[in-house]
Amino acid sequence: MAHEARTDWSMLLGSIFLLIVGAGLWSVDNHLGSNSGKPT
């Protein structure tokens, strides 16, 4: 049971981290947004 709880906890913390920090410079949407040249 503790083994499964560690997985859930790490997935929760990873999701919270991505919500706060974002995907960063290597994200796909960052490349699509900056290279398209189209107004959003």
pLDDT digits (tens, 9 = 90+) for 1-10: 667 788 889 9
Q: What is the pLDDT of residue 11?
A: 92
pLDDT digits (tens, 9 = 90+) for 12-29: 998 888 877 776 777 777
Do 10 and 18 touch, CB atoms closer than 8 A? no
- The pLDDT score that the predictor gives to residue 13 is 92
Expressed in percent and rounded to 5, the helix, strand and coil fractions of the chain are 70, 0, 30
Q: What is the pTM of this model?
A: 0.50
Q: Is the pLDDT of residue 36 over 90?
A: no
Q: What pLDDT was estimated at residue 21?
A: 76
